[in-house]
Structure 1
């Protein structure tokens, strides 16, 4: 009879179990995770999370409930099961349920081990109309109604913990010309293509919305001021990358304006400021082309 080592058994279990599994030290820093966890968050390697907390990764609009649960597990030895929560994944806010228990070594708690499962689709089936009302029919991303709901969560987090966030207002330049020259059906294909590029650009803890027509909004909580310009450049590159749609090469240009909540006093003032800056960029491009 072939002997199976504990290490091999552990590795096989991590692959078999259909959930994102992770383990952390007593300071809530990641020690490891299985492949399903990495795939879920779009990570290339476990090295991207080793030594970091959830807050460092920026996966939650409000990280406090997650932190409180983990402190109960580590400090009190509690086992917590099926706790609902939300996390930011590939430009979307997803619903999860997480379970966590103490990680023991030598009879002492040295950290925690846990797993989560995504229940977004399950909840959407239960409340199909509500889910539909928050989803853009053409692109499949969040729509303007979802934006109105989610930005309030960002504002509340700012008021509670002064977690600043930035709003990017994006408009596709000259998109009407695409519709006029190739037709609206082709224009829809272009919008879908641009959306895929923006989803990729938004993967770093951003939430993406189709605000209307050829306008998009991206929200991102800030950990470093340098992120503002880095993300803006990434968005522009995503929009203006060459495209071949149904055999026709198309180059789309976009104007973008951004504003931080700390510059304003309300979500209304925030988007107005970002919109103003977006049009300033658009007009400066027009003047340059002339």
Structure 2
């Protein structure tokens, strides 16, 4: 028991030192001697109280310092240098909980949407699904769930039938037309499991029915089976179910074919990335079914107005790609400008209203066989971004040397009273590479300091990583204040919470949190989740 007390004291000492170094002036340097003394003290204490991993890591870092002739540390370099040690400290401190989180998250992990107003069940299922390596978005309200569905395009839906004052059947009915030609497993869960309810579920389009109380092992096996079936379905299809043009999977196969043709026969090509302008406004004003009609008509117009040797793909959401065979950048740009003019003259009718739609496009010519495919896609994406920055409804060409220009600034604020978490998140965020965004990262040790800084008044989108429990001002209080700001619509929140309080999570979601992660967390999981949310904002 005495040993545990000294472990707590060691972790507190580490936090104080990290706060002292990294919460102050970032431009101040730190002496090599000071860093060495810290590591020496840490090594001795860790060895004494039987924290062998920390002892060995501190010893290795000290040996590295002894081999160097550095006299001063830049804070960014020091943060990177100490990162493994700080992360290990965090894992030691929270070992009993973190050790359960074995699956490593990857950025393209399947996304499951979970809708249940029983917060205790939502937490239970969310945790179980995330331990399998899937990403989960959770909501308690029907309207929020519907928006999340259309914004995130999940790979699987789990819906409670008996939502507070409403029926999960309503959501199932609302999205059924949208998923009629697309395989998305839909699983209904309910305490009411009589024959009539089960039959109604299947008739309305559910793929499975699971009764409450839920057997977690059986539940996970069923979800895994549905996800495997979806993966097989997606791999067997070349055609996008809604628009009937080629899908994203077939695009990657086709790009490889075009690259091989360039290598063998020197046949250059251009890749164009297109994005419908202000598509979300169409959905908001006229509904998602009208939005789907626009997508279908747009895809049809593209197919009818490119050559037979060109390929049209739906890349995702309202984004499309065209491979122009044998065409250079200027030729492809001219063809797209003609398509843009014709499509923008097309009128869509919705009741008594009529509207038109434009698109923006970026073009990149490929004439070097050894060019990496990721570079090609990023180049066209960069040109598309430039077209949007210049006012939309236009086509731009990209040159490789323009990649780093015109990046959008995204204000990222980490608000957490734990200095180790602040440091780890700063390191993770600083190492993120995003095509269109330049991250402006600042850290705050409490919510009051964040609000007093007027950080949220800075122009542009904001992403907050917000601790739910802080001594000076609770994270939920911060969210409440943020929501009153004139810039609230530009502010997006990921809540970190050390408690699984149903009330607090429900309030966070209702106040507009995009997602929540329970502490202690897997850093890999958190990094993937942050990256996914940030990419949606840029």
Describe the shift of the 1:251–1:132 C-alpha distance in structure 2 as closer, same or farther (beyond 3 A): farther
Q: For the residues of structure 2 that align with 1:137 and 1:230, how far apart are their CA atoms?
A: 29
Residue 249 of structure 1, aligned match among 354, 365, 368: 354
Q: Is residue 277 of structure 1 aligned with residue 383 of structure 2? A: yes
Higher strand share: 1
Q: Which residue of 1 aligns with 2:511?
A: none
What does the per-residue CA deviation read over 1:243-287, in whole Å, with 9 as the maximum and x for residues that have no partner? Answer: 23345422111110000112681221111001001110101106x
Q: Which residue of 2 aligns with 1:135?
A: 239
Q: For the residues of structure 2 that align with 1:159 and 1:223, how far apart are their CA atoms?
A: 16
SS of structure 1 residue aligned to 2:312: strand
Deviation of 1:131 after TM superposition, in Å, equals 8.1
What does the per-residue CA deviation read over 1:215-249, in whole Å, with 9 as the maximum and x for residues that have no partner? Answer: 00000112566522321212312431322334542
Q: For the residues of structure 1 that align with 2:348 and 2:266, how far apart are their CA atoms?
A: 43
Q: Is residue 166 of structure 1 aligned with residue 270 of structure 2? A: yes
Q: Is residue 206 of structure 1 aligned with residue 299 of structure 2? A: no
Superposed counterparts of 1:21-40, under 5 Å: none
Q: For the residues of structure 2 that align with 1:208 and 1:271, how far apart are their CA atoms?
A: 15
Q: For the residues of structure 1 that align with 2:330 and 2:385, how far apart are their CA atoms?
A: 23
Q: For the residues of structure 1 that align with 2:380 and 2:387, how far apart are their CA atoms?
A: 11
Q: For the residues of structure 2 that align with 1:227 and 1:238, how far apart are their CA atoms?
A: 17
Q: Is residue 259 of structure 1 aligned with residue 356 of structure 2? A: no
Question: TM-score normalized by structure 2?
Answer: 0.28
Q: For the residues of structure 2 that align with 1:164 and 1:185, how far apart are their CA atoms?
A: 39
SS of structure 2 residue aligned to 1:285: coil
Describe the shift of the 1:270–1:147 C-alpha distance in structure 2 as closer, same or farther (beyond 3 A): same
What does the per-residue CA deviation read over 1:160-209, in whole Å, with 9 as the maximum and x for residues that have no partner? Answer: 11110000000011000000111111110111111111111223521000
SS of structure 1 residue aligned to 2:382: helix
Deviation of 1:144 after TM superposition, in Å, equals 0.2
| Number of positions where the alignment pairs a residue of Structure 1 with one of Structure 2 | 160
Long gaps (5+) in structure 2:
1-231, 395-538
Q: Which has the higher contact order (CA 8 A, sep 6+)?
A: 1
Describe the shift of the 1:133–1:204 C-alpha distance in structure 2 as closer, same or farther (beyond 3 A): closer
2:275–2:318 contact (8 Å) kept in structure 1: yes
SS of structure 2 residue aligned to 1:136: coil
Q: Which residue of 2 aligns with 1:235?
A: 339
Superposed counterparts of 1:20-99, under 5 Å: none
Q: For the residues of structure 2 that align with 1:214 and 1:180, how far apart are their CA atoms?
A: 14
Q: For the residues of structure 2 that align with 1:214 and 1:130, how far apart are their CA atoms?
A: 19
2:333–2:363 contact (8 Å) kept in structure 1: no
Q: Which residue of 1 aligns with 2:524?
A: none
Larger Rg: 2
Superposed counterparts of 1:99-110, under 5 Å: none
Q: Which residue of 2 aligns with 1:34?
A: none
Higher helix share: 2
Long gaps (5+) in structure 1:
1-127
Q: For the residues of structure 2 that align with 1:223 and 1:137, how far apart are their CA atoms?
A: 29
What does the per-residue CA deviation read over 1:41-92, in whole Å, with 9 as the maximum and x for residues that have no partner? Answer: xxxxxxxxxxxxxxxxxxxxxxxxxxxxxxxxxxxxxxxxxxxxxxxxxxxx
1:242–1:249 contact (8 Å) kept in structure 2: no
Q: For the residues of structure 1 that align with 2:307 and 2:349, how far apart are their CA atoms?
A: 23
Q: For the residues of structure 2 that align with 1:139 and 1:282, how far apart are their CA atoms?
A: 24
